[in-house]
Amino acid sequence: MDRSQKEEVEKIELRSEEFNEIVSMVPYWFERWGIVVVFSFMLLILIGCWFFKYPDIVTARVDITIDNPPSSVVSKATGKIEKIFVVDNGQVCKNGILALLENPADFNEVFKMKNGIDSMSKLIKDNCPDLLETIGYTKLGDLQAPYSLFLKQFNDYKNFISLDYHYKKVQTIRKEIQQQQSYLVKLKYKSDNTREQLDLTKKQFRRDSLLFKQNVIAPSDFEKSQSLYLISKNTFESVNAELLTSEMEVTRLQQSILDLQSQKLEQTSQQLNVLKESLEVLSSRVQEWEKLYLLKAPMDGKVTFTRFWTANQDIKTGDVVFTVVANGSNNFIAKMQLPIQSSGKVKIGQKVIIKLDDYPYMEFGFIKASINKISLVSTNDFYYAEVNLPQKLITTYGKDISAKKELRGSGEIVVQDKRLLYRFILPFKAVLNKSAIE
């Protein structure tokens, strides 16, 4: 049978009614049970969509720290590290020196001078500046100029106190007053004598006046008596005038003493204020030097090196050199940045699933928490929420990660457990509502 004959036979067979009837006939059992199976499968899916729930979540970034968070020590100068005074993970005290940056000043001289400033400030405050002592430091770098100015003011004050001009001047005036008072005593004695002499000559003049009226004595004798009386009177008045002048001089000298004492107090206060100001300027410059070249611990705790730091290593302004973690037990707190979109769904008390960046949740699990507070207004397109955390950070896999004091991750806020069926219906509902509005 050749090829053309075979093709003809196949066409005849395919087009036969018996063959088509057999091929198109569906078994009865398959039709009946197929519908049942499909319907049952769809019913099971609908029942599952009703009973099974898929949570509606809002995702946000989470920062976890402690209530007394670690504090970073940042460099405020560019240069080299001259010396490191602590070791990694060592205990430090507040304001303890962690490192010294390279600078023109000698650290030991600056340190000694700083201690001297503290003691000098106390002496000046207690009004005991006479007990001040200074040392001529020569390796203070940028602090040399304010220190030299302070030394000059201190020497001026010291010379002013040691000269004690006002005291010496007062002593001299007091000697003058003593001399004047001695002279006053003599003048008073002389005044008494001249008064007695005046009384005598006055009496004699009165007698001679009566005798002259009675023509008993000659005019020359009367004139002589009158002359003696006038001379005694002038002498008495002259002595009294001198006495008054001397008393006024004593008063003037006493007033000079008061003026000198007032000037001494004023100039002493002025010199002391200038000394205080120069000391305050020096103290402020020392503080600026410390902020610039000394790295200090902001609190008691444990210091951690952010990098492997060594002496003579370059450092730049703004580099975080150390981190100090506070001692003692601390409570963990978490802050979330809620994006404005979908933030209206977030309510206080809702569950939060925190997945940490440092600890992959597939390996370590996640942390369960809840919303505690939500800010009333947004900032930079974010609302801020506070999250309640357990006292110890233990994941759902039982991993304790409390050792780290700063953690970051993402938080999934379970705003509502929606049924799967509702999720399928929700888009159709939105379309219908939109159509109804239009």
Q: What is the pLDDT of residues 281-308, one digit of tens each?
A: 888 999 999 999 999 998 888 888 888 8
Cα–Cα dist 162/26, whole Å: 131
> What pLDDT is stored for residue 304 in this prediction?
87
Q: What is the pLDDT of residues 311-369, one digit of tens each?
A: 888 888 988 889 888 876 567 888 888 888 877 888 888 888 888 888 888 888 888 88
Q: What is the pLDDT of residues 41-72, one digit of tens each?
A: 676 766 655 555 566 778 888 888 877 778 88
Which residue segments constitute the domains of the chain, with CATH numbers given? Answer: 102-291 (1.10.287)
Least confident of 209-223, 250-264, 314-328, 406-420: 406-420
Average pLDDT, the chain: 79
Residue with tokens 């340190």: 111
Which whole-number Å values give the CA distances from 285 to 159, 201, 281, 291, 296, in the listed order? 26, 85, 6, 10, 17
**Which pTM was predicted?**
0.58
Q: How confident is the model at residue 163 (pLDDT cuts 50, 70, 90)?
A: confident
Indicate whether 35 pLDDT > 80. no
Q: How confident is the model at residue 203 (pLDDT cuts 50, 70, 90)?
A: confident
Please give the residue that has the higher pLDDT: either 378 or 40. 378
Indicate whether 120 pLDDT > 70. yes
> What pLDDT is stored for residue 36 in this prediction?
64
Which whole-number Å values give the CA distances from 35 to 28, 31, 40, 42, 372, in the listed order? 11, 6, 8, 11, 53
Please give the residue that has the higher pLDDT: either 338 or 402. 338
CA torsion through residues 180, 184, 185, 187, sign: positive
> What pLDDT is stored for residue 237 in this prediction?
87
> What pLDDT is stored for residue 397 in this prediction?
85
